[in-house]
Amino acid sequence: MADDRYFDEQAQRWEEEGLFARDLDGQLIRDVAPEASDYGNMVEVLIDGQAVVVPRAVPTTDAQGNILFVDASGKTIPRRTTIYDAFRLLCGTVSPEKTPTLPLIPTLCHAEHLHPVGVCRVCSVELGRLEDDPKNPGKKIVRGGGKLVPACVQPVEERMVVSTLRAKDEKSSGRVKSALRVLLELLASEHLPVSSDRPPLEKSDFARLVDSLAPHLNLQPQRLAFEPAKIHPQDNSSLLIQIDHSACILCDRCSRSCADVKQNFVIGRTGKGFSARIGFDLNDPMGESSCVSCGECMLNCPTTALTFRKSIVSEWYEEELQRPGRSAVTPEEMEASALLATLPFRYRQWNQSSVVRWKVKAGDELCALGEHGSTAFILNKGRFGGWRSDPRLAKKKQRKGLTGLLASFFEPKQEQAIFGPPDFEMTEADLILGEMTCLNHYPRTATVRALTDGEVFIIRRNVLFTLQRSPAARRQLDGVYRQRAITSHLRRVPFFAALTADERKTCQDFLQDRVKLLNLEPGQAIFRQGESADAFYMVRIGHVKVSISQSGSEQVLSYLGPDKHFGEIGLIADSPEFATDIPPGLSSRRTANCTALDDVEIVRIGKDDFRDLLLRVPTLKTQVVAEAHRTLARRSQAETAPRPSSPLLAEFLDQGLYNAQKLLVLDLEACTRCDECTKACADTHGGVPRLIRDGLRFDKWLVASACRSCTDPYCLVGCPVDAIHRKADRNEIQIESHCIGCGLCAANCPYGNINMHQEDDGPILRSRATMCDLCHDIVAPEEDVSCVFACPHNAAFRMSGAELLQRVTPVG
Amino acid sequence: MIVQELHKLQTKHGYLPRQELVALGERLAVPLYRIQEVVSFFPHYRTSPTAELEIHVCQDMACHLRGSAGVLQELREAAAGREGQLKICGASCLGRCDRAPAARIYEQGNEHSVYNLHRRSAQEIIEAASTLLSGKSNQLVVNDTDHAWPPPQKDWQIDIYASQPVSERYASIRRFIQAGDNSAAVQTVLGSLKTAWLLGLGGAGGRAYKKWEETLKEHQKRDEKAYVVCNGDESEPATFKDRELFLRTPHLVVEGVILAGLVVGASKGYIYIRHEYEEQIAAVREEIKAAEAAGTCGDNILGSGMSFPVEVFVSPGGYICGEQTALIEAIQDQRAEPRNRPPELQTNGLWDMPTLLSNVETFAWVPAIVVRDQGKWFQEQGQEWNQWTQLTANLAAETGDRGWTEAFGKGTHFKGRRFFSVSGDVERAGAYEVPIGITLGELIATCGGMRGGEALKAVALSGPSGGFLPRFIKTEHLSAKIRKMLPTELKAFDLCELQLDMNLFRQWGLMLGAGITIYSESADLVEQAYSASHFYARESCGKCVPCRIGSTKIAQVSSQLRVRKLTRKQIDELFQKDGPLLDLAGTMSSTAICGLGQIAANPLMSLLRYFPDEAYAYAAQS
Ligand SMILES: Cc1cc2nc3c(=O)[nH]c(=O)nc-3n(C[C@H](O)[C@H](O)[C@H](O)COP(=O)(O)O)c2cc1C
Ligand code: SF4
Ligand code: SF4
Ligand code: SF4
Ligand code: FES
Ligand code: FES
């Protein structure tokens, strides 16, 4: 009746140790966290006969696909390389789905940024070990073939022989094929709705996988549908996400996303065995659980179990659509843009109102120098010109008050004439523009206008952020971003300011491929006192703390903001080429610690490249040598020179005041605690005060809890619907009415200046984020905001952190 | 802490009230979903009040054979309309297969007492329930304790302390400490286990000394914690020998665990026991106290400065908890979902530390091996090889099989003794200690022969995991290698002549476990395959796709067969080469994470392979 394979192999498998549980000496392999040295520890793996050499560890990446760094020396967090990683490496950027000669390993439960759980088993591959043939010396044999393992979990080991469903050996590929066929049939027969009363909501990744493999594997889910699929109830309680439990394949991607990516800890598995499902909190309806509707689970769900329910419509979108040349883009139409096509369909639906089509006419202005903004432009068609200086800016500065500002806004476009020829030109080959301001919240560095008629997609920050999740889109965007970031930085920073145009060009050409752009998290060390100097750094974004360690405690010396540079002295100290120029007494070791205070983006130039550069550009060399002399001189007078005491400075940095542009500070000697400021705020903001007259003290000042308009706002990062951003002119942060109340910004603000406010009649959700908006629609930019205006005792002020520090220690 | 706290809450309230769970989350600072994950995984936990009495009736092998389905039916009818008072539940094997059918009554008031009812009729169970409901004295209720049930075998050689005063116990611990030289003492113990060739008696039969040695080595490599865990989950249908070892010789288990702890330098020992073993839990807890009082357990053992506390961990329930990595997860307050292997527990076990996990019996044999004469006695206990084994040995020698040579060298006999739980159609079911290498025929004879003198039809040699084998197995159904070895004129092999040893079974491609169920001519194997398939579907943890969905599909087919929904043609199509069932079973066995999913199709597949006529007898007429 049947063949014997199943019965013959049965008893051997039961409870057996994995083939690669032991190393070549028969010792059990312990699973330990890999180390950086494993990056260089190479292993050769054979996949379908093709050799691929991979490191034992690869750097951990986040949900955005960015490599995570421990510190600015470029130190990363290694994770074990799996068979699946090796397979990706082997295939490089080509897609094995479309290249029938490459090995193929499909996945469902696995996502590279989530720790592997190995539950769906569709990535099963056959595994063997290459060993010396005892009978034929000098020959090799493969031992242990026949064992299937999940490629997404199994770390690579020496002498692995992997067979995928495309292996040449038919016995091996047959085994994998048959397993994959059954697994997909099992899943499809239970979780792919076929009945007409429940039409599939969309083509999910899972459905696509089934479709694409169906002809090759001869998939017939019906042959395992012995009984009708079990129907689970739907959960429609969440206003944002609709849950179809019947479609859930229990891949655990949502729960891992919720806990590991967003740290929300809401989703888990509930029940056991066949009836196990995902559950929220104590298996509560999603809408009644502690779910904050961040949408992360839905974006990661490979099925139609979690789908999007209601489109978020922002005021920006509605206004934008009223303007000439603008029109809506449907999720389907987004497919036409190579970049937008990489977004999950569900995400396109959800954030449809974050994308607008603009048929531009020659002369239309896309963005203006110095403006803030949270949009970027995907260039579909046309030519565009950019100006790095804007004659209107000078004019604007001369006018005062609200009327002046308004006038400048409605400036007629004929000003083209005084613009002259553009500094640079762009076409659709440049993919995108405006992405820098959109991502890092700094003002636009150029004015851009259309030179011909054309078409762009205006996208908002959340879309740009999510685009980076697709490896393909990320690679493109990264390339563009790095190149432009470095170019614009080199052009801007004071370090190169004294150079002639030619010299600057030399620098740029030399450095373009030699510098590194690094992203650091708050608290990450860039270098430590006593280490030998190996690089020069320029801050692009964020702030760096300079401190020394003295008898066990930390003494803060200063902090460095955007465009500042550091670390050059140590690089020339021990170099023979510079020996004659520099004063003695300089050390090639670091004399201080440099640590990221907030999210820092930094440009790093290695020691050798830096020295090379100085030799090529004598002006720079002179500048650095002069700096070295000044440093020494400063050090010798360090005792006498007045500067803020270290504890005060440390306090200043601890409280994050360096980052603040619009602190609300109360002079505690004048303040009578009358609370007029709070009342004024409430009166002008619908009864909900946006400030709390409490907070930390700094000297005799009370730093009240109200938005500080940080140079680098933490709160803007990651808002899933781009409801919070910085507006031009006044630097205020604004929250738009389409906020879904996920609470991310409030959690991100380190100073507690955003509050989640319960709203019963809101359009979508129960709560909304509220914060100080600098009274932007009540008072003119130059006028006092309500709280300051209301203070009867002249105790309330708005000022930047630096100004506050000046007041406390009136020195330079 | 979650598991213990839930246990307490349920004992206090009879169920787990929502507000208590919310409060627990706050107290332990864990998110609610973590609590829900645990609560919903273990059927033992309830989130709403239940009836005054809950009656659980075992639905598995021996009990199903003795008509537990009928008992359940009768109870359900009797309980109809009395939902608040009586709740009737079908249960998985309760570990009392020798007293089938087995039932338990849980009483919600009265400190939530439990009553065992063994080999009772539905009528008797209903009477007991009525007495309880009427609030009359408990004295009137039958309670078939394990203590009271007479053991079928009087003397066990495993208990070297049987005729000695209690003070003689823990001799191996005293010797280990008195040796002074720790590393020499460690080598002596490891050497004894090696000489004895003690194999693990809970799973695949790995060599015990090797596991001890590996855990020790791992522990020495990194000077951190290490653990010893004794696996007393024993929830596989047909298996109940650990129940008897816990009950009658808890001191042997505790001694084995402590010695293991001292040898590998572990910081703590856990004895994991299924919650349905109330008497056993009490016995082991008492024994740990006794060992502590004797100074052989806990802090500063016998003044040596070494400490090794041992604790009972009461299982929140479920067959899957017996799988070694799932058990570790349960102790760590997680859902008892098996881990992907490698790594193995010896390197990454409890709290990621080196962990020695073995079966109850594996630990219980340690005193007899170490104290007697360093393993020599034990290794001489096995039976002489019979002709079939000799043939197999020749074959193994020819093919240069390392496993076999390592185990037996030039020997001609098996090594050691072991326990089998025997249930089903024998005269005296029970847990038996026998020499390794006893044949199936001899084992049945030891149990007083076949029940009522009936003929032997089939046998399950590893609970339901290995499926059902016919007494006379056609040689064409044996693996090619074995077939070639047997005389050509032999058309069928009499399993009664096969010696029961794990090494031999591995050569034959068969599975041998600790639970053996015997079926006489009158047994209905379609019913048995049905019940076993549903057991696996019920007990699948649901972590991996092949088992979560596959085990239910197998159970669906078994149900359809049982209710005569499949025609003969359909049966053939399902089971043909490259047909859905073989594909499904093959995929489950090659891709499921743990042993449960890997073998869940065996009962049904073995029915169709060895007993097609029984299946056809259930075929639908058209
Ligand atoms: C589903 C499943 C259930 C198991 N149940 C038990 C059990 O109840 N008791 C046990 O000792 N081993 C059980 N095992 C085997 C264990 O995983 C493990 O192999 C064994 O406890 C090791 O002990 P040993 O070395 O003494 O054999 C089970 C395995 C599986 C796959
Ligand atoms: S809801 Fe989606 S992401 Fe979550 S487990 Fe189910 S299929 Fe996976
Ligand atoms: S504004 Fe804040 S609370 Fe509102 S959606 Fe964005 S991140 Fe969430
Ligand atoms: S095989 Fe079954 S029991 Fe084992 S991990 Fe998979 S789902 Fe769980
Ligand atoms: S993708 Fe590897 S097990 Fe799911
Ligand atoms: S108690 Fe019923 S089969 Fe074990």
What lies within 8 Å, CB to CB, of A426 at 6+ separation is A379, A383, A384, A385, A386, A433, A448
Average of per-residue pLDDT across B480-487:
94
Identify the weakest region by mean pLDDT among A148-152, A639-643, B9-13, B429-433: A639-643
Same domain, residue pair B408 and B480: yes
Residues in chain B: 622
Q: How confident is the model at residue A405 (pLDDT cuts 50, 70, 90)?
A: very low
- Among all residues of chain A, which has the CA nearest to that of B466? A11
Residue A11's pLDDT is 57
Please say if the pLDDT value at position A167 is more than 90: yes
Identify the weakest region by mean pLDDT among B174-183, B491-500, B532-541: B174-183
| Nearest-CA distance A185 → chain B (Å) | 10
Is any Cβ of chain A less than 8 angstroms from the Cβ of B557? Answer: yes
| Nearest-CA distance A155 → chain B (Å) | 10
- CA–CA separation, B150 and B387 (whole Å): 37
Q: How confident is the model at residue A765 (pLDDT cuts 50, 70, 90)?
A: very low
The helix (run of H) or strand (run of E) holding residue A296 is helix A296-300
Tokens of A345: 């369909």
Ligand 6 contact via B91 beta carbon (within 6 Å): no
Same domain, residue pair A485 and A535: no
- CA–CA separation, B548 and B546 (whole Å): 6
Residue B309, preceding bond cis, omega within 30 degrees?
A: no
Please say if the pLDDT value at position A490 is more than 80: no
Residue A401's pLDDT is 47
pLDDT in tens, A41-90: 999 999 999 999 999 999 888 877 777 776 666 678 899 999 999 999 99
ipTM: 0.96
Confirm whether A225 is domain-assigned: no
What lies within 8 Å, CB to CB, of A59 at 6+ separation is A39, A67, A68, A76, A77, A78, A79
Same domain, residue pair B537 and B502: no
Please say if the pLDDT value at position B519 is more than 50: yes
* β-bridge pairing B53-58 and A375-381: unpaired
- CA–CA separation, A286 and A263 (whole Å): 17
Interface test with chain A among B536, B568, B590, B598, by most A beta carbons within 10 Å: B590
* Count of structural domains, chain B: 5
Is any Cβ of chain B less than 8 angstroms from the Cβ of A256? Answer: no
- CA–CA separation, A596 and A725 (whole Å): 23
pLDDT in tens, A222-248: 999 999 999 998 898 888 898 999 999
Same domain, residue pair A144 and A63: yes
- Among all residues of chain A, which has the CA nearest to that of B17? A282
Residue A400's pLDDT is 46
| Helix axes A501-511 and A618-636, enclosed angle (nearest 10) | 90
Interface test with chain A among B20, B21, B33, by most A beta carbons within 10 Å: B33
Nearest CA to ligand 4 atom 6: B544
Same domain, residue pair A270 and A195: no
Q: What is the DSSP letter of A514?
A: T
Instruction: Supply the CATH number for residue B615's domain.
Output: 1.20.1440.230
Residue A732's pLDDT is 79
What lies within 8 Å, CB to CB, of B451 at 6+ separation is B424, B425, B426, B427, B520
Q: List the domain range (segments joined by +) for residue B67.
A: 53-148
Q: How confident is the model at residue A407 (pLDDT cuts 50, 70, 90)?
A: very low
Confirm whether A11 is domain-assigned: yes
Is any Cβ of chain A less than 8 angstroms from the Cβ of B17? Answer: no
- CA–CA separation, A573 and A756 (whole Å): 53
Average of per-residue pLDDT across B76-85:
93
Same domain, residue pair B304 and B360: yes
| Helix axes A618-636 and A607-616, enclosed angle (nearest 10) | 110
Residue A311's pLDDT is 64
- Among all residues of chain A, which has the CA nearest to that of B550? A186
Confirm whether A240 is domain-assigned: yes
| Nearest-CA distance A2 → chain B (Å) | 5
pLDDT: which is higher, B337 or A429: B337
Instruction: Supply the CATH number for residue A707's domain.
Output: 3.30.70.20
Interface of B with A in 109-148 (CB under 8 A): none
Same domain, residue pair B228 and B86: no
Same domain, residue pair A448 and A370: yes
- CA–CA separation, A365 and A377 (whole Å): 12
Q: For residues B461 and B237, is the Cβ–Cβ distance under 8 A? A: no
**Cα separations in angstroms, A270 against A621, B24, B37:** 66, 18, 5
The ligand minimizing its distance to the Cα of B545 is 4
Percent of chain B with pLDDT over 70: 98
Residue B279's pLDDT is 97
Count of Cβ atoms closer than 10 Å to residue A466 Cβ = 24
Please say if the pLDDT value at position A526 is more than 80: yes
Interface of B with A in 280-319 (CB under 8 A): 318
What lies within 8 Å, CB to CB, of A324 at 6+ separation is none
Q: How far is CA A576 from the centre of its chain?
A: 42
Identify the weakest region by mean pLDDT among A701-705, B57-61, B440-444: A701-705
Contacts of A117 in chain B (CB under 8 A): 340
End-of-domain residue from the set A641, A676, A692: A641
Tokens of B575: 């089971």
* Count of structural domains, chain A: 5
- CA–CA separation, A290 and A309 (whole Å): 18
* Residue A428 amino acid letter: E
Please say if the pLDDT value at position A2 is more than 60: no
Nearest CA to ligand 2 atom 6: A248
- Among all residues of chain A, which has the CA nearest to that of B572? A1
Same domain, residue pair A501 and A636: yes
Same domain, residue pair A478 and A551: no
Q: For residues A175 and A58, is the Cβ–Cβ distance under 8 A? A: no
Percent of chain A with pLDDT over 90: 30
Q: List the domain range (segments joined by +) for residue A542.
A: 493-641
End-of-domain residue from the set A577, A606, A641: A641
End-of-domain residue from the set A451, A476, A491: A491
Question: Which residues face A272 on adjacent strands?
Answer: none
Contacts of B537 in chain A (CB under 8 A): 273-274
| Nearest-CA distance B450 → chain A (Å) | 27
Please say if the pLDDT value at position A554 is more than 90: no
Q: How confident is the model at residue A414 (pLDDT cuts 50, 70, 90)?
A: very low
Please say if the pLDDT value at position A639 is more than 80: no
Contacts of A245 in chain B (CB under 8 A): none
Same domain, residue pair B184 and B321: yes
Interface test with chain B among A223, A282, A286, by most B beta carbons within 10 Å: A282
Please say if the pLDDT value at position A404 is more than 60: no
Residue A763's pLDDT is 44
Q: How confident is the model at residue A758 (pLDDT cuts 50, 70, 90)?
A: confident
Please say if the pLDDT value at position A647 is more than 90: no
- Among all residues of chain A, which has the CA nearest to that of B352? A31
End-of-domain residue from the set B321, B339, B373: B373
Count of Cβ atoms closer than 10 Å to residue B69 Cβ = 17
Write out the DSSP string of B538-591: HH----SHHHHHHHHHHHHHHHHHHTT-SBHHHHHHHHSTTSHHHHHHHHHHHH
Contacts of A150 in chain B (CB under 8 A): 340, 591
Residue B340's pLDDT is 95
Pick from B21, B479, B506: CB nearest A8: B479
pLDDT: which is higher, B72 or A443: B72
Instruction: Supply the CATH number for residue B422's domain.
Output: 3.10.20.600
Count of Cβ atoms closer than 10 Å to residue A687 Cβ = 7
- Strand boundaries in A591-688, DSSP class E: 593-596, 600-606, 663-667
Chain-chain contact of B37 with A11 (C-beta, under 8 angstroms): no
Supply the mean pLDDT for chain A: 84
Residue B615's pLDDT is 97
Pick from B347, B543, B577: CB nearest A30: B347
Chain-chain contact of B342 with A29 (C-beta, under 8 angstroms): yes
Residue B374's pLDDT is 94
Q: What totals of helices (H) and strands (E) does chain B contain, helices first?
A: 28, 15
Phi and psi, residue B547, nearest 5°: -85, -40
pTM of the entire structure?
A: 0.82
Same domain, residue pair B532 and B518: no
Confirm whether A651 is domain-assigned: no
Same domain, residue pair B125 and B205: no
Please say if the pLDDT value at position B8 is more than 80: yes
Same domain, residue pair A566 and A528: yes
- CA–CA separation, B42 and B7 (whole Å): 11
Confirm whether B154 is domain-assigned: no
Confirm whether A16 is domain-assigned: yes
Same domain, residue pair B99 and B142: yes
Residue A402's pLDDT is 47
Q: Which residue has the tokens 């307490």?
A: B8
Same domain, residue pair B501 and B534: no
Instruction: Supply the CATH number for residue B59's domain.
Output: 3.40.30.10
Q: How confident is the model at residue A812 (pLDDT cuts 50, 70, 90)?
A: very low
Average of per-residue pLDDT across B233-262:
98
Count of Cβ atoms closer than 10 Å to residue B436 Cβ = 23
- CA–CA separation, A187 and B339 (whole Å): 21
Please say if the pLDDT value at position B242 is more than 70: yes
Same domain, residue pair A32 and A180: yes
Same domain, residue pair B6 and B73: no
Same domain, residue pair A161 and A70: yes
- CA–CA separation, A505 and A493 (whole Å): 14
- CA–CA separation, B361 and B444 (whole Å): 21
Percent of chain B with pLDDT over 90: 91
The tally of CA atoms less than 13 A away on the side-chain side of residue B253 is: 35
Question: Which residues face A387 on adjacent strands?
Answer: A447
Nearest CA to ligand 2 atom 3: A301
- Secondary-structure percent of chain A, ordered helix, strand, coil, rounded to 5: 35, 25, 45
Q: State the distance between the two ends of chain A, measured CA to CA, in whole angstroms.
A: 94
Same domain, residue pair B306 and B447: no
Write out the DSSP string of B308-337: B-EEEEEE---GGGGSHHHHHHHHTTS---
Average of per-residue pLDDT across A324-352:
88
Chain-chain contact of A266 with B31 (C-beta, under 8 angstroms): yes
Residue A15's pLDDT is 63
| Nearest-CA distance B438 → chain A (Å) | 21
Instruction: Supply the CATH number for residue A359's domain.
Output: 2.60.120.10
Question: Which residues face A754 on adjacent strands?
Answer: A771
pLDDT in tens, B112-152: 689 999 999 999 999 999 988 887 655 667 889 999 999 99
pLDDT in tens, A271-304: 999 999 999 999 999 989 999 888 899 989 999 9
| Nearest-CA distance A484 → chain B (Å) | 44
Average of per-residue pLDDT across B512-537:
98
Average of per-residue pLDDT across B520-526:
98
Same domain, residue pair A467 and A540: no
Nearest CA to ligand 3 atom 4: A739
Q: Which atom of ligand 5 is nearest to the CA of A120?
A: 4
Interface test with chain B among A30, A254, A284, by most B beta carbons within 10 Å: A30
Please say if the pLDDT value at position B402 is more than 60: yes
Identify the weakest region by mean pLDDT among A340-349, B319-328, B377-386, B449-458: A340-349
End-of-domain residue from the set B496, B523, B550: B523
Is any Cβ of chain B less than 8 angstroms from the Cβ of A34? Answer: no
Would the CA dihedral through A52, A56, A60, A63 be positive or negative? positive
Average of per-residue pLDDT across B386-399:
95
Chain-chain contact of B583 with A181 (C-beta, under 8 angstroms): yes
